[in-house]
Amino acid sequence: MEAAAGALSPVLRKLGELLAGEYNLEKRVKKGVQSLRTELEMIHAVLREVGKVPLDQLQEPVRIWAGKVRDLSCDMEDAVDDFLVRVDEGPCSKPTNMRNRVKKFLKKTTKLFGNGKALHQISSAIKEAQDLATELVGLRKKYELDMRSTSNGATIDPRVLALHKDVGELVGVDCTRDELIKTLICEDGSSKEQLKTISIVGVGGLGKTTLTKAVYEKIKAQFDRVAFVPVGQNPDIKKVFKDLLYELDNEKFSDIHNTTRDENLLIKQISDYLVDKRYLIVIDDIWEEEIWRFINCALYKNNLHSRVITTTRNVSLSEACLSSSDDTIHRMKPLSDEDSRILLHRRIFQSEDKCPEDLQVVSRDILKKCGGVPLAIITIASLLASNQRVKQKYEWMHLHNSIGRGVTQGDIVKDMNMILSLSYYDLPSHLKPCLLYLSIFPEDFEIKRDWLIWRWLAEGFIQCDKEETRLFEIGERYFNELMNRSLIQPAKINDEGTVVTWRIHDVVLDLICSLSSAENFIFILNNAECHAPNLQRKFRRLSLHNIKAKVQNHQFDSTSLSKVRTFAVFSPVACDWLPSLSSFHFLRVLDLGNCGSHESSSGLNLKYVRNLIHLRYLGLKGADVHELPVDISKLQLLQILDIQGTRINELPASIVQLRNLICLSVDSGLRLPKGMGNLMSLEVLERVGLSSSSHIVEELRHLTEVMTLSINCDNMDEDLIDILIKSLFFRKGGSPRPLHTPSKPS
């Protein structure tokens, strides 16, 4: 139900803008907008309460009613957006016709919300909506206060980073790690000459990857080449092979992901590379025996003491990974009672010995229900100690009672989902859509923190709580809260302790995907869904994962794409059959940077990008694009533009008219047009080469909002460097702002 409540938030805000703005609305229309906004505020208050209840505990009529509210809210927001954008375009946009459209739409929605009232009479929770009308203002202030108290000032809890700083120090790992190392390598440092494989098997959440990572980090220095490659449930085998080559030698294979190779050629390339090297390779999270057979073909069976470690949830698959009598299987076991206690208390109290006496009994009772599963323990700990505050005893008791029977060996996955769902429903309302949005990414995908926050911003999930607070800073707080609750995991942490990239545990991703699908929040199209009849339904957010077969354009009718707000591609084949961008009428986020388009014969056609007048985010990183449309200035709402790794060598002159652009990421060799100082909203400017665009040095003084600047100073003379220093520290518009200015692009 959170998707329904979340869909209403921007509608309420934009209806307010419609009333406050000078749009020359007729009195009757304005009155209709006011009446509708009041009704929506009342419904929104109820939906937020309903959103705290798990879906399976809601009555069917309530779910139907909330679904109708969600769909209508999205349609209404589209209509208001279209009206506001086209009115602002000027006389040629025929605002009178738009006013007629708004009039008709208000009539339609008023009628449909009336039908919704009849439905929500069934539920006692919804009946209270009518009583809330007189208390609307007070409730709204209360909810806004709640949001501020949970978001402001959130930083990453140091206890969370401690969990990931050194996997070798995690509870219950060290002894098992040392046993596995003894199996792989003899105590005197020698090992059997032939290739040896260890397969680690266990259900999700038991810590297979954590244990494997601990072994890998401990012994990798003893090998010529090492690689740690995740596979996942629906892998693209060519990407797996390319990842493997890149991990083995990131200098030699630095451009491997932008090359065209079939499976046979990649297998030969890997095998030839490994023929004379002692290697350690980890193949993490294998789901299918066929995938393992492909990978196994590439691993050259030399006699140089090489080692392979695999992880899987499937016992029969772990057996298939063995090829000799020396190969072994390690079956994961739950943590002991003592290790479970240490893990929980370290996470909550930063020490296993500091649990207050009055919490020790309920602590033991909670641990019994966690069944020794590390992921369950860490999740529960995050619920008991959120925002760096340990909850009161009554809250511990309530959580214990909420868990139900707890994790059993009969169905660990189902029980884990139940525990994880407690974390979801415990989230404040503004964080739930941010978490559901993570289902747009494929399994085992490593994502930059900053670019996730920019996506949230473009989607409208981040709303300013104070006039002086930057939206990105609020997004950082949102991210930190999800990190503190262990719902996402850091992948790379820089020397300053800042999370650079992150991943999501596959068990958590399974839950999020299930919730997202139930609320029609994001539709994931993969090879299995390509010919499904639901391709004809309306989508709001569409993500393409690992399309192995070509799908014909006609399978997407105009109705199914016309309402899409987000279109993201994570498939190398996708660029060969992408629907025309003219099919999208309300697109806000377009990400084509992960479709492997360098393997395409035709590349990406951006002809119709200029017509996407609602676009906020354009991601083309690594895409086969040679130029941007010369009239890109039509995208007046564009906030984020990423063209790193493309073949674009010059930005069109009209880019300087994008007054709402906040983040621009380019390559150092790209030429910037004159007039960049007009981009007064710009906060992030990445990978700028000053030698190719020296005029930007002077113009930096006009970019008073820039907080992060990544530049390449190669081939700059001293005079230009002096001008750069003056521009950075004496920018117009007030006192100098602090800048993050690495000398070379990262």
Which pLDDT tens digit goes with each residue over 401-426?
877 666 665 566 677 777 788 788 88
> Where in the chain do CATH 3.80.10.10 domains reside?
518-729
What is the DSSP secondary-structure string of 415-451?
Answer: HHHHHHHHHHHTS-TTTHHHHHGGGGSPTT--EEHHH
How buried is residue 430: exposed, middle or buried, by Cβ count under 10 Å (0-12/13-18/19+)?
buried
DSSP 597: G
Tell me how far apart the alpha carbons of residues 634 and 615 are, in angstroms, rounded to a whole number: 10
Q: Tell me: domain 518-729, CATH 3.80.10.10, correct?
A: yes
Taking residues 432-442, report their average pLDDT.
92
What residues are paired with 328 via a beta bridge? 198
C-alpha 712: how far from chain center: 29
Helices 289-298 and 237-248: angle between axes, nearest 10 degrees? 40
pLDDT digits (tens, 9 = 90+) for 458-492: 998 987 766 657 899 999 999 998 888 878 888 88
Interval 447-456 mean pLDDT:
94
Among 39, 54, 44, 63, CA closest to 6: 44
Query: Cα(163)–Cα(499) distance, rounded to whole angstroms?
Result: 13
The Cα 456–Cα 589 span in angstroms is 10
The residue assigned the tokens 């739950």 is 334
The top-scoring range by mean pLDDT among 318-322, 503-507, 583-587, 707-711 is 318-322
3-state secondary structure of 312: strand
> In a 3-state reduction of DSSP, which class is residue 343?
helix
Phi, psi (rounded to 5 degrees) for 494? -80, 180
CATH of domain 427-517: 1.10.10.10
Which residue type sits at 323?
A: S
Q: What is the pLDDT of residue 154?
A: 61
Rounded to an integer, the average pLDDT of 576-584 is 75
Tokens standing for residue 203: 């259900």
In the chain, ranges of CATH 1.10.10.10 domains: 427-517
Over the stretch 632-677, which tens digit does the pLDDT of each residue have? Answer: 999 999 999 999 988 888 999 999 999 999 999 998 888 889 999 8
Q: Which backbone phi and psi does 15 adopt, to 5 degrees?
A: -65, -35
Query: Strand runs (DSSP E) across 481-614, as ranges?
Result: 489-493, 499-503, 523-525, 541-545, 566-570, 589-591
Structure tokens given for 706:
């820039």
413 phi and psi, to 5 degrees? -60, -45
The angle at the Cα of 173, spanning 281 to 190, to the nearest 5 degrees, equals: 50
Determine which helix (DSSP H) or strand (DSSP E) holds 640, and give its type and residue range: strand 640-642
Q: Is 236 exposed, middle or buried (0-12, 13-18, 19+ CB in 10 A)?
A: buried
**Structural contact between residues 150 and 144, judged by C-beta atoms closer than 8 angstroms:** no
Cβ atoms within 10 Å, residue 291: 18
Q: What percent of the chain has pLDDT over 90?
A: 27
Least confident segment among 95-109, 327-341, 532-546, 723-737:
95-109
pLDDT at 302 exceeding the cut of 70: yes
**What single letter denotes the amino acid at residue 573?**
V
Q: State which H helix or E strand residue 205 sits in.
A: none
- Which among 174, 161, 159, 167 has a CA at the least distance from the CA of 209? 167
The Cα diameter of the chain in Å comes to 88
Mean pLDDT of the region 574-585: 72
Enter the pTM of the model.
0.72
Is the four-CA dihedral 646, 652, 658, 662 of positive or negative sign?
positive
Q: Which residues pair with 307 in a beta bridge?
A: 196, 280
Which 3 state secondary structure label does DSSP give 529?
helix
C-alpha 207 chain-centroid distance = 22
In this prediction, residue 660 carries a pLDDT of: 93
Overall size of the chain counted in residues: 746
The chain-wide mean pLDDT, for the chain, equals 77
In angstroms, the CA 89 to CA 341 distance is 63
Q: Which CATH architecture has domain 176-331?
A: 3-Layer(aba) Sandwich (3.40)
